[in-house]
Amino acid sequence: MSREKTTYIHAGWLIDGSGEPARKDTLLTIAHGRFAAVDTFDRSTPPPAQLLTDLSHCTLVPPLVDSHVHLRLSGTIDQEARQRQLTAGYESIRPLIARNIRYAFSHGVLAVRDGGDAHGYVLRYVRENGGRGKEPVLVKTTGKAWHQRGRYGSMIGRHPGIDETLATAFAKDPDPGDQVKVVNSGTNSLSVFARETPPQFTLGEIQELVRQAGRQGKKVMVHANGELPVRLALEAGCHSIEHGYFIGRENLELMAARGVTWVPTLGAMKACAAYLARGDSKNSPAIALRTLQNQLEQVALARELGVTIALGTDAGSIGVIHGEAVSEELRLLLKAGCSLAEAIRCVTWNGASLLGVDDHLGLIARNRPAHFLVVRGTPSQLPRRISSLQAIYLDGSPCRKEFFQKV
């Protein structure tokens, strides 16, 4: 399909990413790689047949955005393989990063935000490839996250020196990545329900980092579980809370008031419960499932309070596979009470806004780039059918089948 001429798409159903319900029988007019119009399809005056692509049996959605991934890990449950991935050098990890990006693209994910790795391999890969892999997936990365010495976070980042504050250490970083990540709590306990770990940094330390990052035009994402670690991150002015288990109503109200985005990573806890059910003497799958249920309830409350939620899979965690994990995360958002259109907004417009790529991703609307996914069937067959896309369109033209086939 040429970008030089006006062409038309008849969509059976359209979910445009705005959060509005699906529209039936929509005509998309495409000119110069952009949507020139989005109208109701009028069967009495159809466009010329030679310029019309009939997708009346399909649902169209914007390309997807995964707002929390770890590209240097595969999601395998094989602990020996995971350890090899964590200790391997860059040349060994580079093909894995490329493969994970390809997995994402094959499931319609056109932008991801990487949550950091201890050696900065993903940032190096991004710099070498101009922000993309061989596939047209935008990769935003934090490089190496920041954690407190002796606390959780060494797998995804580094800590300030003995005589350094968080802000002074950040100021010395020659390449801090696209966004800045701070780890301000531990992980969730899988043996004691709702056990909270103390904050890793003080309010003042995070505030100064947010100010310095802001001078560079960078957002700050904060890994935080538990009421106090989350509250300090919010009061410091962070832009997103990652995970946010046991976040509490007051924090959710503050997030809504300040426009802070929440990335609740539901599927990773479900995958963890499944892994533990295989047999782990120290931790309990029942605790993991109880923790997941609490998070689902918090997402339902966040929806009522008007908190902006962006979908993030935490792909690379145990049992969480790049690309395919998006469908599971969408299912869990639906289980938490989101409508299908709201869940799609979480994985399109909300994610694109959080990553700063909302100028060309996130919405199907007039004057925007003609990027979209084609899912065979009705909206009722989502999100399952996202794992078997019929087509991916970029600038109004379908990608070659082999370009997005499963690998």
The pLDDT, as a whole number, for residue 66 is 98
DSSP-assigned states of every residue in 155-175: TTEE---TT--HHHHHHT-S-
The pLDDT, as a whole number, for residue 407 is 39
The pLDDT, as a whole number, for residue 3 is 54
pLDDT at 402 over 70: no
3-state secondary structure of 289: helix
The encoded tokens of residue 241 equal 């809370």
**Could you tell me where the DSSP H helices lie in 249-370?**
249-258, 266-276, 285-305, 325-335, 340-347, 349-355
Any idea of the CA torsion for 129, 131, 135, 138, to the nearest 10 degrees?
170
Distances (CA, A) of 48 to 6, 36, 43, 266: 11, 16, 12, 46
* Beta-bridge mates of residue 388: none
Over residues 262-272, mean pLDDT: 98
3-state secondary structure of 257: helix
3-state secondary structure of 323: coil
Contacts 24+ apart (CB under 8 A), 401-404: 403/135, 404/105, 404/106, 404/135
Over residues 161-175, mean pLDDT: 94
Q: What is the pLDDT of residues 88-121, one digit of tens each?
A: 999 999 999 999 999 999 999 999 999 999 999 9
CA-CA distance, 185 to 360, in Å (whole number)? 34
Distances (CA, A) of 61 to 38, 110, 136, 200, 317: 13, 12, 17, 40, 27
* Beta-bridge mates of residue 309: 262
Q: How confident is the model at residue 387 (pLDDT cuts 50, 70, 90)?
A: confident
Q: 102 with 403: CB under 8 angstroms?
A: no
For 300: left if phi > 0, alpha if psi spans -120 to 50, otherwise beta; the answer is: alpha
Q: CA quadruple 359, 305, 233, 143: dihedral positive or negative?
A: negative
CA-CA distance, 59 to 376, in Å (whole number)? 6
The pLDDT, as a whole number, for residue 401 is 54
Residues 6+ apart with CB under 8 A from 181: 115, 116, 142, 145, 146, 156, 157, 220, 221, 222, 223, 242
Q: CA quadruple 306, 311, 316, 320: dihedral positive or negative?
A: positive
pLDDT at 1 over 60: no
Q: How confident is the model at residue 337 (pLDDT cuts 50, 70, 90)?
A: very high
pLDDT at 288 over 50: yes
The pLDDT, as a whole number, for residue 282 is 80
In the chain the first and final C-alpha atoms are separated, in Å, by 26
pLDDT at 400 over 90: no
What strand order describes the sheet that includes 180-183?
157-158, 145-146, 180-183, 220-224, 240-243, 261-263, 308-309
Q: How confident is the model at residue 62 (pLDDT cuts 50, 70, 90)?
A: very high
pLDDT at 134 over 70: no
DSSP-assigned states of every residue in 206-253: HHHHHHHHHHTT--EEEEE-SHHHHHHHHHTT-SEEEE-TT--HHHHH
pLDDT at 217 over 60: yes
